[in-house]
Structure 1
C-alpha cells in the first residue's frame, strides 16, 4: 500500500525504441518468464489472480491464508519487513509453508522500501537485497512456489532520485543472483508504484537484460493515475510491444486523488492473460481498500465483493498452479459457441431458457447467462450460471421485454463466443406488487455541508428465490446520487428524482430470507427527507 500521491499530468506515449531482448543465459528453474508470459517449471501458463496480505503487521492472522484461498485465489502477496521500518521478518519459512499448505503461489515483498527518496524512513533497494540474501536458506529450493518482490514501491515522487530506478533495480537483481537466488524476481515501478513518469516503462528492457537469469517480471500499481481505460490500455500495450512480462501488482476500486478504473484493469488483464493482485485483504488504516472487515471472509466489503466475486474477478478467472495439481495446463482452445436459447414457462415474473450444448477439447465446465432489459439497447449483465443447458430466471417485472444470451467456459477458463440472442416478454401481472421484499433505508448526513451517505438493505421476504433484481424509488426532496455508489449499478437521470439500483454479479441471487446491503454517497439541499416507497422488479416492498 502507499500513501496518497500526486498523479500530475499523465502522459502515456508509445515507446520510441526498444532493445532486442537477450536470450536467457541458462534455463530458469521453477516459475519463470517467457516473453510476456509467466510459466511454471513444466511449461504451463500461470496467470496470477491474487490478494495482498499485510502479514508483517498482523502476524497472528495466519487463518487468512486459508480464507484467501477459499475464494479460488491462486496467489497471495505477503507483506514482510526488512528491519528498517518493520520486522525484520524472520518467519519466511513459516510463511512459505502456509502458502504451500493452502496451495497458493507466494509473492514475498519487502515493504520498507515504500517511497524512498520522498519518505525519509524508507529503505533502499540495496538494503532490501541484503534482507533477501539473509533469508536465502528459507528461499532456496522454493523456486516453483515463490516469487521475490524485491521492494514495494521503492521510490516516491522525487524526480532526481527516481532517475536512479533502473540502476538501483539492476544492482539489487544482480546481488540476488550472485547469492544463488534464481527465483523469478518481481520489481515495482517508481513514483509510489504508479510510474506516472514512465521511468519503468522506458527502462524495463535494460533492467530485464541486466538479469543474468532473464527471469524478471515487472509490477505496476494502478491507482489514481489509471482512472481511464486509455491510460490503462496504453501502459499495458507498451509492455506487450516490448515483449516483457507485466503484472498489475496492486490496484483497488477507490483511491484519494482519483477513481481507479478497476473494471478496465480486470477485463484487460483477463483478455491479455496477465496477472493481477488486489490490495488488500484487511487492516488498512482507512479501510477503503479492505476486502474484508476485521479479516472476516464472511463480511466482505464492496471492494472485496468486486474483486473476489465480480465480473473478471478472482473466483471467475483464477486457475490453481499445476504444481499443486491445478488443471488447465496449456489449454488455450475455447469451447464452441452454444446454441441460441429458447424460452418456455414464461410467467409475469420468470422464464426458463434452454440451449444446445457447447463442445470443448478438454471439457465444458459451465455456462454464463447474460440479460439485457428492453427490446433493444441496454447492457447485457451476468444474471446466473449453470452447469447444464437450462436456466430459470425469476424475479422479473411483469409485461417487460428481456433479451438473453449465453456463453460457455472450460476449466482454464477459456470462454466461447456469446450465443445468439433470444427476446421474451413476461406476462402481465395485474400490478400492485406482491410485498415479497423488504427495504431498510437510512440517510446519514455528513458533519457540515450538504453531503450524506445512503444505506439500503434489501431482503427477499418471499418463498421463491430472486434471480436478478432492480430496486426503484424516488427522492422526495431533490436529492442527487454521486455515482458510482457500491453494491449495485446505480442510475439517476439528470433532473429526475427517480433512482434505480440493479444487482451486481455477486448479489443478484437472493434466496428466500436472504438480503443484500448496498449504498451510495449523495447531496441534498434543505431537508434530507428519506424516500418511503420502493419496488423490486416492479413489485412494491414493505419498509422498515
Structure 2
C-alpha cells in the first residue's frame, strides 16, 4: 500500500517502523519526522507520569524523551512500567524516546553494557513498537572527549541489541557528555556501519560547549549533516553551569535544517538548575524557558508535526 508523505516528498512504501535515509528520519508511513518536544525526568518522579504526559502533549509536542533507570543508580523501571509509559505516550499522540540515564558521564564499557542489557531485559515492551518507540541507548555515555573510545563502545553495543531482536531506531549520544560533536563527525559513519539495519540517529546535547552561540550551533549541526548522518539535539537549555546557551539558534537552525530537538526538561531540576524547568510542576504553567520552547518563533506550537501513525486517516489515498 502507498501513502502520500507530504508536499514535495516522494511516495514511499509503508515500513514497519521508524527508519533513517541519509540525514532524514522517516516514520512508518513514509513521512519525514522531525522531533519537536522535550525531556521528562520520569525515573525521579515516577508518581507524576499521568499528570506530566498529557500536559506535555498539550504543548503540541510530537515526541517526549523519557528518563529511565536500569537500577544501577536509581530505582529500576521494569518492563511493566515501560509498557505503561509507552501506552500513555501513545494515547497522547506522541512518539516515546526512551533513554537509560545510569551511564551518564561514565567511560567504562561495563556501564554501557549494563544499559544494553537493560534494553534486552525489557525488550518485550519495545519489540513490535518500532513505529512509536525510539531507543536512546545510554544518556551521555563517555564523558571523556575521546571519539575513538566512544566509537569502540558503541560498535560493540549496537550489534548486541540487534542480535537480541531489537529493531527500533537507535539514538547514540555524542561523547563528551553529549557535547563533543567531533566524535560523531569523525567516527559516526563507522558506528552507523556497525548496525546491520543502518538505523542510527546521532544526538548532540547543546549546552555551554556545543551550543554556546549561533555560529557554534550552526557549525555543529552542519558538521554532522555534512557527513550524511542523521542528527537530533537530544537536550538543550537556554543557560547552563554559569554560561549562556543560544537556544534561539538551536530552534532556528533546527527548523532550517530539519534537525529535531528535545528541550531539557519538563520540571523537577535541582534548585541550582531550576532555570531549566519548562513548567512549574508536572501539570503546571509554563516558565519563561518553557514559553520560549513552546511559543517561540521556531517553537513547538509553530513547528511540531505529528507522526504519520497519528494522522493515518488523512495520509492514505
Give me the whole-angstrom Cα distance separating, in 2, the residues matched to 1:315 and 1:327. 22
Alignment of 1:373-522 (within 5 A): none
Residue 113 (structure 1) aligned to one of 88, 103, 106: 103
Give me the whole-angstrom Cα distance separating, in 2, the residues matched to 1:328 and 1:36. 26
Give me the whole-angstrom Cα distance separating, in 2, the residues matched to 1:325 and 1:158. 41
Residue 202 (structure 1) aligned to one of 152, 172, 186: 186
Give me the whole-angstrom Cα distance separating, in 2, the residues matched to 1:36 and 1:158. 24
Give the structure-2-normalised TM-score.
0.89
Alignment of 1:276-291 (within 5 A): 276-285=261-270, 286-291=273-278
Give me the whole-angstrom Cα distance separating, in 2, the residues matched to 1:327 and 1:110. 34
User: Which position in structure 1 is the counterpart of 2:7?
Assistant: none
User: 1:246: how far off?
Assistant: 0.2
SS class of match (2:31): coil
Q: Deviations over 1:37-58 (max 9, x none)?
A: 1101121111100110011010
8 Å contact kept, 2:145–2:180: no
User: 1:74: how far off?
Assistant: 0.3
Structure 1 residue runs of 4 or more that deviate by more than 4 Å after TM superposition: 326-330
Residues 1:320 and 2:309 are matched in the alignment:
no
Choose between structure 1 and 2: higher helix proportion: 2
User: Which position in structure 2 is the counterpart of 1:214?
Assistant: 198
Give me the whole-angstrom Cα distance separating, in 2, the residues matched to 1:123 and 1:69. 36
Give me the whole-angstrom Cα distance separating, in 1, the residues matched to 2:298 and 2:121. 39
8 Å contact kept, 2:148–2:187: no
Larger RCO (alpha carbons 8 Å, 6+ apart) = 2
Residues 1:47 and 2:34 are matched in the alignment:
yes
Give me the whole-angstrom Cα distance separating, in 1, the residues matched to 2:171 and 2:305. 20
Alignment of 1:22-41 (within 5 A): 29-41=16-28
Give me the whole-angstrom Cα distance separating, in 2, the residues matched to 1:73 and 1:123. 34
Relative distance call for 1:328 and 1:51 in structure 2 (3 A) is farther
8 Å contact kept, 1:49–1:74: yes
User: Which position in structure 2 is the counterpart of 1:99?
Assistant: 89
User: Which position in structure 1 is the counterpart of 2:294?
Assistant: 308
SS class of match (2:275): coil
Give me the whole-angstrom Cα distance separating, in 1, the residues matched to 2:184 and 2:228. 14
SS class of match (2:269): coil
SS class of match (1:92): helix
Choose between structure 1 and 2: higher strand proportion: 1
Relative distance call for 1:207 and 1:128 in structure 2 (3 A) is same
Give me the whole-angstrom Cα distance separating, in 1, the residues matched to 2:249 and 2:58. 25
Q: CA RMSD in A?
A: 1.9
User: Which position in structure 2 is the counterpart of 1:125?
Assistant: 112
Give me the whole-angstrom Cα distance separating, in 1, the residues matched to 2:58 and 2:310. 15
SS class of match (1:242): coil
Relative distance call for 1:234 and 1:326 in structure 2 (3 A) is farther
User: 1:28: how far off?
Assistant: 6.4
Q: Deviations over 1:72-125 (max 9, x none)?
A: 0000000000111123211111111111111110000000010103xx9x9611
